[in-house]
Structure 1
Amino acid sequence: MKGLLLLTLSSLVCWVSADIRCHSCYKVPVLGCVDRQSCRLEPGQQCLTTNVYLGKMRVFSNLRCGTPEEPCREAFYQTSHKLGLTYNTTCCNKDTCNSLAPRPTPALDLVLTSLAGLGLWLLH
């Protein structure tokens, strides 16, 4: 009886630990996550976070699960010369390890958005 109980508990622990979830969303400044969801990792895959920058300003982030078709590949300072964007991708494989960073204060968001808008208006 004890052996059966131990086997059942071991199976349950393995089953629970295999259910690793990742955050999944597009995160943009001011708005935060758009279409927030979670996804379950398949065996051998990893959660990933890609941050996209224009200069030093983050434009958006993409959080998701890697897939066999698009596995996570860490990359830092990848640049798209046409658009002038820089991409940083990080990988992890623990439950919700690509967690959402806390949002800046709303006042700071408003100031940064206003300054960006003013800068674009002055350029035209």
Structure 2
Amino acid sequence: MTGILFFSLAALLCYTQTEALKCVVCKMLSGCVRKGGLTCEALPGQQCKATHVFKVRIRQFTLQGCTLPEDSHRCNTVKEDKMWGAVNTTCCNNKDLCNSIYED
């Protein structure tokens, strides 16, 4: 009986100690690195985010990182900005580094 209880407790601890979602971080004009580079760990409720800014269909720059609480309404949207052009924001949480601009 004690063995079953110990095994159940160990399984529960393994289940609750999952690693946080890791996201690629890239600031505007900093030059992103495909492997390695900077990452952030998403807190509960956060996702990875990539914002692509296009001017006349040419990508000007990309911002990557973890979402903030105020970002939830911006996820998976395209917005026209008079100064920047098309601003496409996507969010994901299906795997680590899912906001990478590079294909795996």
**Deviations for 1:45-94, whole angstroms, at most 9, x for unmatched residues?**
111110000111000101110122x3242211x1111x252100011113
- Contact in 2 for aligned 1:49/1:91 (Cα 8 Å): yes
**Structure with more strand by fraction:** 1
Q: CA RMSD in A?
A: 2.2
How many residue pairs match? The answer is: 95
Instruction: State how far apart, in whole Å, the 2-side matches of 1:84 and 1:99 are.
Output: 22
Structure 2 residue matching 1:49: 3-state secondary structure: strand
Consecutive unaligned residues in structure 1, runs of 5 or more? 103-124
| TM norm structure 2 | 0.75
Aligned-pair identity in percent equals: 32
CA gap of 1:80–1:92, structure 2 versus 1, over 3 A, is same
Matched AA of 1:53: F
Cα drift, residue 96 of structure 1: 1.8
- Contact in 2 for aligned 1:21/1:38 (Cα 8 Å): yes
State how 1:24-103 maps to structure 2 within 5 Å.
24-26=25-27, 32-33=31-32, 36-68=37-69, 70-72=70-72, 73-74=74-75, 75-76=77-78, 78-81=79-82, 83-94=83-94, 95-101=96-102
- Contact in 1 for aligned 2:53/2:84 (Cα 8 Å): no
- 1:11 maps onto 2:13 in alignment: yes
Matched AA of 2:24: H
Could you say which structure has the greater relative contact order, defined with CA pairs below 8 angstroms and 6 or more residues apart?
Answer: 2
| TM norm structure 1 | 0.64
**Structure with more helix by fraction:** 1
Q: Which entry has the higher C-alpha Rg, 1 or 2?
A: 1
CA gap of 1:50–1:13, structure 2 versus 1, over 3 A, is same
Structure 2 residue matching 1:90: 3-state secondary structure: strand
CA gap of 1:43–1:5, structure 2 versus 1, over 3 A, is same
Structure 2 residue matching 1:71: 3-state secondary structure: helix
